[in-house]
Amino acid sequence: MRRTTGPVIEVETLADFDHRVALGTRSLAGWHLQSIDLSGRSGVLRSLPVAGALFLGCRFAAGDEDSVRHRGGIVFPAVPDAPLDTYRGSLYTPRDLYDSPSYPDSLDARAYAWSRQPRDLDLTLAQALHDHAIDDALSAWIESRRLVGVMGGHALARGATEYADAARLGRLLSATATVATGGGPGAMEAANLGAWLSRRSSEELDQALAMVAAEPSFRPDIGAWAKAAFDVIEAFPDGAESLGVPTWHYGHEPPNPFASQIAKYFHNATREAILLEICRAGIVFLPGAGGTVQEIFQDACENYYGDEASVAPMVLVGIEHWTRTLPAWPLLTALAKGRPMESHVHLVATVEEAAELVAHH
């Protein structure tokens, strides 16, 4: 949880800084200022005590950084050559990551290319600082929200019946919770799309599905794939919020633009654990392959050792898929037998059944 009062105060916008100063603060001791442009606040910085203040990636007017350090402030400068703000104070939006019409020139592509360099201290430190900042921003964003997860295969093509099913699932779940996905293509994108259009009619959802089907996959052209999504967002603005939690570890899989907020991490293990942890309203697992199976049993492990009050529903959709194609269901039920999680694991045939189970949890 972000701290805004007490011995440590986290300040992440210039407006918040100005507001606190205007209230009559007499010292910046204990303040953690993150990625703020303070180049126009020389007078304030030089008039107030700064010993014990922490400045993370802030920008200063000439001479102010040396003044702050000399008077006991701790300054962490921007990491050299990092293409992104390692101290950012908020989650990404789709337009933050797709900041160029040419995908290879976008922040998302530049960050992935940078992450593939030989690892050295600067790179390791920058990625750790970035992921910590995303953790902090995500913690603040989810504080007042009830999240339900949707997991499923990344290879699911737009235009497929299963893609439309995943979109309907996202639309249904948004009636009672905020949808969270892995933030990538396939079933994840479809669920975020359905959430975005949850205030629209089913006919409008069908229209949007037809629009994106013109570019079924992010291969071979991520730019065209993303543009089809942004065309839908432009045609149907002011959609409902949802969350995507992708990773540059799988940088060849671009983030989908339908998640209104994106918590993108460099470290996949961190991303996987956090995504499962925050979905306290339960998780729906659509048909998938290795990654989805891993997520099922990672979630099952948390529920296996949890007490009944902490167990959230696990709903697997697709009887044939989860009992024959990839028979995760028999093992899951055997694992759950006699545990508090036993009554919280479900296998259903349709997304409508899945949404109904989650809504009544």
- Please give the full DSSP string across 273-331, using - where no structure is assigned: HHHHHH-TT-EEE-S--HHHHHHHHHHHHHHHHS-GGG---EEEE-HHIIIIIS-HHHH
Instruction: Considering only residues 2 and 330, tell me which one the structure prediction assigns the higher pLDDT.
Output: 330
Could you read off the pLDDT of 287-313 as tens digits, one per residue?
Answer: 999 999 999 999 999 999 988 888 999
User: In this predicted structure, what is the pLDDT of residue 129?
Assistant: 93
Among residues 85, 41, 35, the alpha carbon closest in space to that of 58 is found at 35
* Averaged pLDDT, 142-159: 96
β-bridge partners, 150: 181, 284
pLDDT band at 78 (very low <50, low <70, confident <90, very high): confident
Among residues 28, 27, 37, the alpha carbon closest in space to that of 10 is found at 28
User: Dihedrals φ, ψ of 48, to 5°?
Assistant: -110, 145
Omega of the bond leading into 237 within 30 degrees of 0 (cis): no
264 half-sphere exposure, CB direction, 13 A CA radius: 32
Residue 5 pLDDT > 80: no
Among residues 15, 26, 16, the alpha carbon closest in space to that of 50 is found at 26
C-alpha distances (whole Å) from 123 to each of 43, 130, 241 are 35, 11, 32
Of 1-10, 59-68, 130-139, 228-237, the one with minimum mean pLDDT is 1-10
pLDDT band at 2 (very low <50, low <70, confident <90, very high): very low
Of 3-7, 33-37, 150-154, 351-355, the one with minimum mean pLDDT is 3-7
* Averaged pLDDT, 318-327: 98
Long-range contacts of residues 99-102, Cβ cutoff 8 Å, at least 24 apart: 101/223, 101/227, 102/223
pLDDT band at 245 (very low <50, low <70, confident <90, very high): very high
User: In this predicted structure, what is the pLDDT of residue 120?
Assistant: 87
Domain borders along the chain are 9-76, 146-359
Percent of the chain at pLDDT exceeding 70? 98
Residue 100 pLDDT > 70: yes
User: In this predicted structure, what is the pLDDT of residue 4?
Assistant: 47
User: Dihedrals φ, ψ of 347, to 5°?
Assistant: -125, 125
- Find out if CATH 3.40.50.450 is the number for domain 146-359: yes
Q: Which two tokens stand for residue 284?
A: 């729906």
| Residue spans of alpha helices (H) in the chain | 14-22, 42-47, 64-70, 94-97, 107-115, 121-142, 161-173, 187-196, 202-212, 222-235, 268-278, 290-305, 319-320, 328-336, 351-359
Among residues 81, 44, 110, 40, the alpha carbon closest in space to that of 251 is found at 110
| Residue partners of 155: CB distance under 8 A and separation at least 6 | 185, 186, 289
User: In this predicted structure, what is the pLDDT of residue 3?
Assistant: 46
- Please give the full DSSP string across 48-82, using - where no structure is assigned: S--TT-EEES-B--TTHHHHHHHTT-EEEPPPTT-
Q: Give the separation between CA 93 and CA 141, rounded to whole angstroms.
A: 13
CB count within 10 Å of CB 76 equals: 15
The chain-wide mean pLDDT, for the chain, equals 95
Q: Give the separation between CA 258 and CA 268, rounded to whole angstroms.
A: 21
User: In this predicted structure, what is the pLDDT of residue 216?
Assistant: 98
SS3 label, residue 26: coil
Residue 1 pLDDT > 50: no
User: In this predicted structure, what is the pLDDT of residue 8?
Assistant: 86
Could you read off the pLDDT of 21-77 as tens digits, one per residue?
Answer: 999 999 999 999 999 999 999 999 999 999 999 999 999 999 999 999 999 999 998
CB count within 10 Å of CB 161 equals: 8
Separation of CA 289 from chain center = 21
Among residues 35, 28, 36, the alpha carbon closest in space to that of 9 is found at 28
